[in-house]
Structure 1
């Protein structure tokens, strides 16, 4: 099995965590009358990529921050 090469830098990682937390907080505590509040759960994705220090999209595009 091939090892995953880190392709997320420190600043990118911090920003992903902040944005992920903000989206989840919106999903949990946002206004109840917004029908698309579920979209805040997408915040799990940037948090997960920050935790493992690897972004599949960056890998495909050849980006390394």
Structure 2
């Protein structure tokens, strides 16, 4: 894994969205698509997003 490229605000949004999507597996529509929430959850927890790499993008403060 590379250096952190996910900033504080981006991280909070990703973790919140991930938890909400995963909760959809157990409550609400009970859709298996909720497991997609693992992607934003893990990218938020590890502060690293591989999709940012090809573009050299980072939301971290320098």
Q: Same fold (TM over 0.5)?
A: yes
Give the count of matched residue pairs.
59
Q: 2:26 aligns with which of 28, 45, 62?
A: 28
TM-score (norm 1): 0.81
Separation in structure 2 between the aligned mates of residue 5 and residue 20 of structure 1, nearest angstrom: 21
Secondary structure at the aligned position of 1:46 is classed as: helix
What's 1:8 paired with? Answer: 6
Which stretches in structure 1 are left out of the alignment for 5+ residues? none
RMSD (Å) for aligned C-alpha atoms: 1.3
Answer with 1 or 2: which has the greater Rg. Answer: 1
CA shift, 1:46, in A, is 0.7
- Superposed structure 1 runs of 4+ greater than 3 Å apart: none
Separation in structure 1 between the aligned mates of residue 24 and residue 6 of structure 2, nearest angstrom: 25
1:38 and 2:32 are equivalent in the alignment? yes
